[in-house]
């Protein structure tokens, strides 16, 4: 039940460092060029070592950040990330020691740029938390009814931990279904006034609920990849219902780009599916089958 859910807001310094390192290591655009130049040497050295050992770089960096979201700290998290990236047990100790040392250097450099980050994050949480307190449960209530009509009691997590991080990419976020946590960059103002950041947060919470449901094997796994993608127009429609979006058409393309969602079909096809699907009160798993057929036919 939405009314029984609670949200714990955490200004996460460790995640802020991990997000900065991840973004630079994977070649993402950073909003602060000075940050990139300060950390570039250590991070380039890490990528060089990983490449020399044939480690899968995307898998390593994604797993490293996921470990920090789940509650691990940066240097120790490297061991599990190396295993996930394909490091053999034979080389794990020597490579792990080297990578942990370089990660420690990058983390130290990051924290040196933001010596009062803990205090800053506690202030940065304010705007998004206040907006969420105003309309968050209303958004989730509308979404739950649209998905299930009568949502299961355990559809929404009883306590959701919202980790906030120093903005590095100008708006970003993610989920960790195993720990039941989400994270979001704590931007002070909406990146795009047409799509408030509270809707990114809503999409992440909805995605987390979907991931947990799918992990229990309660839906057709052949369409599992579509759930998170299809929730974009769902959340935007909830925003329309609560007067957070005022454009005559759902800004699906903008949201896909802003929330960094991998496109499984064109926004026009997704919008077409939503127009025929919205308000039908058909269970979400069946609607995913309809979307899958539409994607195959397009």
Please say if the pLDDT value at position 4 is more than 80.
no
Looking at residue 109, what is its pLDDT? 95
* Mean residue pLDDT across the chain: 93
Please say if the pLDDT value at position 165 is more than 90.
yes
Q: Where are the domains of the chain?
A: 14-115
Mean pLDDT, rounded, for 79-88? 96
**Which one has a higher pLDDT value, 147 or 278?**
147
Looking at residue 293, what is its pLDDT? 92
Cα Dmax for the chain = 59
The per-residue pLDDT for range 8-23, each reduced to its tens digit, is 999 999 999 999 999 9
Please say if the pLDDT value at position 93 is more than 90.
yes
Taking the C-alpha atoms of residue 202 and residue 134, their distance in angstroms, rounded to an integer, is 13
The per-residue pLDDT for range 197-215, each reduced to its tens digit, is 999 999 999 999 999 999 8
The per-residue pLDDT for range 95-118, each reduced to its tens digit, is 999 999 999 999 999 999 999 999
Do 168 and 20 form a contact (C-beta atoms < 8 A)? yes
Please say if the pLDDT value at position 259 is more than 70.
yes
User: What is the pLDDT confidence band of residue 218, given thresholds at 50, 70 and 90?
Assistant: confident
Which residue is associated with the tokens 């089958």?
289
Taking the C-alpha atoms of residue 161 and residue 195, their distance in angstroms, rounded to an integer, is 23
Query: Rounded to two decimals, what is the model's pTM?
Result: 0.94
The per-residue pLDDT for range 148-161, each reduced to its tens digit, is 888 888 899 989 99
Mean pLDDT, rounded, for 39-66? 95
* Cross-strand bridge partners of residue 159: 6
Please say if the pLDDT value at position 196 is more than 70.
yes
Looking at residue 1, what is its pLDDT? 66
Taking the C-alpha atoms of residue 236 and residue 255, their distance in angstroms, rounded to an integer, is 8
Ramachandran sector of residue 88 (left: φ over 0; alpha: ψ -120 to 50; beta: rest): beta
Please say if the pLDDT value at position 3 is more than 80.
no
């Amino acid at each position: 039940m939405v009314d029984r859910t609670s949200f714990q807001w955490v200004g996460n310094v460790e995640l802020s460092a991990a997000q900065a390192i991840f973004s630079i290591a994977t070649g993402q655009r950073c909003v602060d060029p000075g940050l990139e130049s300060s950390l570039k040497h250590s991070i380039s050295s890490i990528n060089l070592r990983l490449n020399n050992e044939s480690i899968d770089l995307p898998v390593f960096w994604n797993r490293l950040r996921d470990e920090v979201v789940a509650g691990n700290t940066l240097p120790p998290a490297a061991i599990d990330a190396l295993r996930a990236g394909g490091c053999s047990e034979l080389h794990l100790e020597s490579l792990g020691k080297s990578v942990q040392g370089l990660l420690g250097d990058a983390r130290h450099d990051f924290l040196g740029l933001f010596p009062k980050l803990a205090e800053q994050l506690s202030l940065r949480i304010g705007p998004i938390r206040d907006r969420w307190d105003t309309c968050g449960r209303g958004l989730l209530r509308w979404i739950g009814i649209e998905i299930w009509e009568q949502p299961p009691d355990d559809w929404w997590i009883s306590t959701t931990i919202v980790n906030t991080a120093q903005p590095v990419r100008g708006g970003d976020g993610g989920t960790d279904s195993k720990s039941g946590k989400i994270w979001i960059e704590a931007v002070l103002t909406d990146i795009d006034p047409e799509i408030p950041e509270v809707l990114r947060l809503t999409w992440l919470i909805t995605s987390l609920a979907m991931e947990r449901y799918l992990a229990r094997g309660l839906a057709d796994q052949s369409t599992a990849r579509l759930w998170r993608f299809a929730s974009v127009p769902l959340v935007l429609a909830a925003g329309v219902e609560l007067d957070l979006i005022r454009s005559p058409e759902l800004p699906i393309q903008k949201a896909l780009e802003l929330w960094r969602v991998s496109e499984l079909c064109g926004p026009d096809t997704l919008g077409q599916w939503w127009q025929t699907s919205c308000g039908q009160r058909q269970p979400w798993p069946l609607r995913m089958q309809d979307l899958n057929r539409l994607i195959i036919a397009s």
